[in-house]
Amino acid sequence: MTGVILYGPFELAPYSKTYMELLDEAGEKYDLIGWRREEEPQYTGENVFMYEGESGKRFSSPIEKIKPALGFRKFILRLIRQKKYDRLIVLTTQTALILADVLLTKYKNKYIFDYRDKSYEYIKPYGALVNALVLHSAETVISSEWFKQSLTPKKDYILAHNMQLNRLEFKKHNLVRKAENEKIVLGYIGALRSFDYHKALMDSFKNDSRFEFLTYGCGDDSEKLREYAKPFSNIFVHGAYREADKYKIVDTFDMMCYNYPSSFVNDGAVANKYYDALIMKKPMFVNEKTMLGKFIVAKNLGVGVTDADSVADTVYNWYKTFDTEKFVRTCDFYLDKYAAENELFRKKIKEVLEKAGRT
């Protein structure tokens, strides 16, 4: 039996569905162990165990997050003792770190480590622990080729994109540019990052008659952001959304915001919304200082913005002149590439599960 463990809700980690599908295909029984937050539950049943303890705020200090994390760890360890799992699938670095002692001893070479985000790998003790977790895993899966730059070269990694293959059924095949007198609808969808970050985005487009700016997502500052947006005629904060409605929402956008701040954490990461933009044929405006931002600009999948005073003009001028047919062809080229790489990931993980089932 396998324990699938996530430091958070499975509803906000669509890539976890792939592991569930592979376990089902292998005929392997499994439990889902996660942390219930404010999302609408989609996963229920006798094999679903969700911690209900209060979580730390998204941008609270590491010290303030320790106590909630220890509560979740205690919850997981109790289940591991009771269920005596044969193997674990550990989703995200946070999950692996709070279970590091168990993974490096009792479950050494008996866990799959799905590495999704960078955090403090530049600090030597932290980086050494992450690399130890990588080296002693049965397999380590990464969601971005760029993550290899922060991890040990002594491991063969499996690449798995944050793109669910069944989402390709929503794929658009063309793009119709807005007419000259129509507003360009810009959209942000996903977890709200911080008040200051979203305020800066809103300030770039507020009361500009050429645009509407829509924000969808839950977060600690959602109500504060909604209040801030009220005076502006073209800025709208809609709050939480259902995953099932995501592509309906994205379809209302003309361009998507992928303008993440430049940082060690963000640089190299590839968020779900990048793949959503390719599927729905939505160009992006991005921070060109990040690795993915550079890639998006180089491939003409979007426009880079840096100067806060000219963001709106930069986005508007690019949107009015980009080659829509070339954009669609480029989206489809990379979607095909990512789909093939995800099929290879599925094949490799299935082999690991089947091999484990024979031992």
* Domain range for 246: 167-334
262 and 187 together in one domain: yes
29 and 142 together in one domain: yes
* Distance of alpha carbon 264 from alpha carbon 121, whole angstroms: 9
252 and 187 together in one domain: yes
Domain final residue, candidates 118, 139, 160: 160
355 within a domain of the structure (yes/no): no
142 and 210 together in one domain: no
Most confident segment among 34-48, 266-280, 336-350: 336-350
52 and 100 together in one domain: yes
237 and 98 together in one domain: no
Residues 190-221 pLDDT 10s = 888 788 989 999 999 999 999 999 999 887 78
pLDDT above 70 for 5: yes
354 within a domain of the structure (yes/no): no
pLDDT of amino acid 141? 97
Number of domains in the chain: 2
For the chain, how are helix, strand and coil distributed in percent, rounded to 5? 45, 15, 40
pLDDT of amino acid 212? 97
119 and 264 together in one domain: no
145 and 292 together in one domain: no
349 within a domain of the structure (yes/no): no
For the ranges 68-72, 110-114, 192-196, 231-235, which has the lowest average pLDDT?
Answer: 192-196
Neighbour-count burial for 32-41, b at 16+ CB within 10 Å, e otherwise: bbbbbeeeee
Residue 57: pLDDT band with limits 50, 70, 90:
low
pLDDT above 70 for 356: no
State the average pLDDT for the chain.
91
Domain final residue, candidates 136, 160, 184: 160
pLDDT of amino acid 41? 78
297 and 248 together in one domain: yes
| Phi-psi map region of 109: left, alpha, beta (phi>0 left; psi -120 to 50 alpha) | left
95 and 220 together in one domain: no
pTM: predicted TM-score of the whole model, two decimal places: 0.85
3-state secondary structure of 284: strand
Region 266-279 average pLDDT: 90
pLDDT of amino acid 286? 95
pLDDT above 80 for 355: no
139 and 208 together in one domain: no
179 and 129 together in one domain: no
341 within a domain of the structure (yes/no): no
Type of residue at 108: K
Residues 31-56 pLDDT 10s = 999 998 766 778 889 999 999 887 76
- The CATH number of residue 178's host domain is 3.40.50.2000
72 within a domain of the structure (yes/no): yes
Region 117-141 average pLDDT: 92
* Distance of alpha carbon 186 from alpha carbon 205, whole angstroms: 9
Domain final residue, candidates 129, 160, 191: 160
Residues 84-121 pLDDT 10s = 999 999 999 999 999 999 999 999 999 999 998 888 78
